[in-house]
């Protein structure tokens, strides 16, 4: 093998320029963030709100925020783990749950700024185009822009489910139906019925029915938690319909009660300066005592 | 043989990005708010090509007279031969920052207003003037741990 010069030597590290911290962590797309967050200078300090939708493996996080120099300020937040309160106990990261979370944050935010009676949003959920109309006399609709983060914006993505929930809840989010499930890329047409089925979890219900017929073992494995709660394929639409009504009835945030946790100690407690000095003094005294007594000195 | 008249001639170092500060501009540059009358420093940013100042304005300080969506209009005094001409230039946000020369004054104004309000409430009189550092007050110097060094000038001695 020919001689290979070490590339990552001291000089390399001295000259290396790290990317922004959140870019190194792979969490923020600064190209998108600059365009989402920055306000026109002739609008001075007016907040530019954005609806942040993020999906983890088991949860959905929806937040409405605006940017400030000291750090972004979150106006309102909603999580999919709050949905059990409204009757949705399983399937917390599917399209229907995303819709519910979007609806929840919209109603919660509008209630917070006292616009929930003025902007009711779309009461009949049919998956069709709906854009919030500003009321003639009174404040305009609450406008925010969707922040997908690093999610891939394909047709039928769940981020758009959350956005649809927020729009139907009464927020003004500019969008088109090109990325909703039910949009036909070839025909360039939108089928609202397919979208409606996704909002009410019918795609999950259909899979449940399919598995039940074909492979019972797989059905039991895939939908174990549904079976435990007694949720059938036919009951799914009703479950989400009830959830939408419950969300509209009471979108207030209820914080979980604080649990009393007793702190467990795993190691020894650190000694104070006096305790350490006392320890040394004690060992010294014992050593001298042994010397005086003339015994064999213990050198350990 | 005259010098070339290129717009960015001689700016190899002036508009260069500092060491290890290349790449995307951090967002606090864009989040600063500029109002008409603000005093701003002009510093060209070579990474942003739009709305750049001419090299003669780099390092100058001016006042904002206009605010547009992505830029500000700045009034700068440019020395041309024997006089100063008031120039109006349009600069994007990335090439402009708030001048700290104004910061001390604005803080003092705010502080004075607060002190004046307090004095009004407490019915005390308060002097808001800035004073230069006065001579040291009379004080006792202990020489227990130190020796006093007597310093006096030496008579002239010619040394090669």
* Interatomic CA distance for residues A280 and A277, integer angstroms: 5
Residue A173 tokens, joined: 């989010």
User: Which chain B residues have any C-beta within 8 angstroms of a chain A C-beta?
Assistant: 20-24, 26-28, 30-35, 67-72, 93
User: Per-residue pLDDT averaged across A25-35, rounded?
Assistant: 96
**Would you say residue A112 lies in a domain?**
yes
* Interatomic CA distance for residues A208 and A203, integer angstroms: 9
Reference A39, options B93, B98, B63, B24; nearest CA is B93
Asked whether the beta carbons of residue A40 and residue B34 sit closer than 8 angstroms, the reply is: no
**Would you say residue A263 lies in a domain?**
no
Distance from CA of B16 to the nearest CA of A (A): 16
Q: How many domains does chain A have?
A: 1
Reference A209, options A231, A229, A188, A191; nearest CA is A231
pLDDT score of A202: 95
Nearest CA in chain A to B24: A30
Is the complex ipTM more than 0.90?
no
* Interatomic CA distance for residues B23 and B76, integer angstroms: 29
Q: What digits encode the pLDDT tens for the residues B30-48?
A: 999 999 999 999 999 999 9
- CB burial string A275-291: b at 16+ within 10 A, e below: eeeeeeeeeeeeeeeee
Domain range enclosing A219: 21-249
CATH number at residue A144: 3.30.420.100
**Would you say residue A267 lies in a domain?**
no
User: At A2, is the pLDDT very low, low, confident or very high (cuts 50, 70, 90)?
Assistant: confident
Q: What sign for the dihedral angle of Cα B145, B150, B151, B155?
A: negative
Q: Per DSSP, which regions of B10-147 are E strands? A: 39-42, 61-67, 71-80, 83-92, 96-98
**Would you say residue A186 lies in a domain?**
yes
Place of tokens 């020919």: A2
Helix or strand or coil: residue B103? helix
Helix or strand or coil: residue B7? coil
**Would you say residue A27 lies in a domain?**
yes
pLDDT score of A243: 95
* Interatomic CA distance for residues B95 and B24, integer angstroms: 14
- Domains, chain B, ordered by start: 27-98 (2.30.30.70)
Residues of A with Cβ-Cβ distance to B72 under 8 angstroms: 41
Chosen for mutation from B33, B65, B66, B94 (greatest number of chain A CBs closer than 10 Å) is B33
C-beta atoms surrounding A29 within 10 Å: 16
* Interatomic CA distance for residues B105 and A66, integer angstroms: 31
User: At B1, is the pLDDT very low, low, confident or very high (cuts 50, 70, 90)?
Assistant: confident
pLDDT of residue A300 exceeding 70: no
pLDDT of residue B131 exceeding 80: yes
Judged by phi (left if over 0) then psi (alpha if -120 to 50, else beta), residue A14 lies in alpha
pLDDT of residue B87 exceeding 70: yes
Q: Per DSSP, which regions of B93-129 are E strands? A: 96-98
Written as one string, the DSSP assignment of chain A is ------SSSHHHHHH--PPPHHHHTT---HHHHHHHHPPPGGGTT----EEEEEE-SS-EEEEEEE--TT--EEEEEEEGGGGGGGT--S-TTSHHHHHHHHHHHHHHHHHHTT-TTT----SS--S----PPPPSSSPPP-B-EEE-TT----TT-HHHHHHHHHHHHT-B----GGGSTTEETTTTEE-HHHHHHHHTTHHHHHHHHHHHHH-HHHHHHHTHHHHHHT--TTTHHHHHHHHHHHHHH-----PPPPPP-PPPP-SPPPPPHHHHHHHHHHHHHHHHHHHHHTPPP---
Question: Mean pLDDT, chain A, as a whole number?
Answer: 93
**Cβ atoms B72, B29 nearer than 8 A:** no
Residue A182 phi, psi dihedral angles, 5° rounding? 115, -10
User: At A139, is the pLDDT very low, low, confident or very high (cuts 50, 70, 90)?
Assistant: very high
Residues of B with Cβ-Cβ distance to A69 under 8 angstroms: 28, 31-32
**Would you say residue A275 lies in a domain?**
no
Residues of A with Cβ-Cβ distance to B68 under 8 angstroms: 41-42
The DSSP letter of residue B100 is T
Distance from CA of B116 to the nearest CA of A (A): 29
pLDDT of residue B23 exceeding 70: yes
For chain A, what percent of residues have pLDDT higher than 70?
Answer: 98
Place of tokens 């510093």: B43
**Would you say residue A35 lies in a domain?**
yes
**Would you say residue A79 lies in a domain?**
yes
Q: What are A77's strand-pairing partners?
A: A63
């Amino acid at each position: 093998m020919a001689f290979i010069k070490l590339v990552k030597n001291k000089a390399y590290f001295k000259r290396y320029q790290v990317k922004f911290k959140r870019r190194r962590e792979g969490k923020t797309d600064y190209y998108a963030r600059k365009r989402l967050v920055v306000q026109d200078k002739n609008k001075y300090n007016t907040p530019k709100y954005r609806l942040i939708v993020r999906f983890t493996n088991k949860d959905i996080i929806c937040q409405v925020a605006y940017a400030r120099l000291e750090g972004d300020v979150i106006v309102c937040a909603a999580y999919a783990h709050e949905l059990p309160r409204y009757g949705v106990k399983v399937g917390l990261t599917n399209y229907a749950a995303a819709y519910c979370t979007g609806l929840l944050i919209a109603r919660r935010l509008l209630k917070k700024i006292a616009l929930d009676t003025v902007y009711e949003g779309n009461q009949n959920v049919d998956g069709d185009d709906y854009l919030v109309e500003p009321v003639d006399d009174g404040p305009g609709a609450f406008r925010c822009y969707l922040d997908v983060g690093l999610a891939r914006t394909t047709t039928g993505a769940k981020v758009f489910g959350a956005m649809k929930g927020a729009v139907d809840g009464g927020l003004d989010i500019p969008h088109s139906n090109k990325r909703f499930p039910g949009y036909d890329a070839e025909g360039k047409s939108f089928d609202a019925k397919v979208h409606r089925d996704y909002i009410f979890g019918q795609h999950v219900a259909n899979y449940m029915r399919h598995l039940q017929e074909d492979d019972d073992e797989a059905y039991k494995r895939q939908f174990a938690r549904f079976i435990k709660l007694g949720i059938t394929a036919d009951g799914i639409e009703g479950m989400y319909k009830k959830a939408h009504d419950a969300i509209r009835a009471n979108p207030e945030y209820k914080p979980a009660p604080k649990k009393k946790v007793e702190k467990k100690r795993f190691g020894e407690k650190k000694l104070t300066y006096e305790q350490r000095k006392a320890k040394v003094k004690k060992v010294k005294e014992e050593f001298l005592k042994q010397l005086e007594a003339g015994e064999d000195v213990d050198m350990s | 043989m005259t010098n070339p008249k290129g717009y960015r001639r001689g700016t190899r170092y002036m508009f260069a990005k500092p060491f290890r500060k290349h790449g995307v501009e951090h967002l606090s540059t864009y989040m600063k708010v500029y109002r008409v009358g603000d005093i701003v420093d002009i510093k060209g940013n070579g990474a942003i090509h739009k709305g750049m100042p001419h090299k003669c304005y780099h390092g100058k300080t001016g006042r904002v007279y206009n605010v547009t969506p992505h830029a500000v209009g700045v009034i700068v005094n440019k020395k041309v031969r024997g006089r100063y001409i008031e120039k109006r230039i349009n600069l994007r946000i990335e090439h402009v920052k708030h001048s700290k020369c104004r910061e001390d004054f604005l803080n003092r104004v705010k502080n004075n207003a607060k002190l004046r309000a307090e004095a009004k409430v407490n019915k005390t009189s308060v002097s808001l003037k800035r004073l230069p550092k006065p001579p040291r007050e009379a004080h006792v110097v202990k020489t227990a741990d130190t020796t006093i060094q007597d310093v006096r000038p030496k008579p002239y001695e010619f040394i090669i």
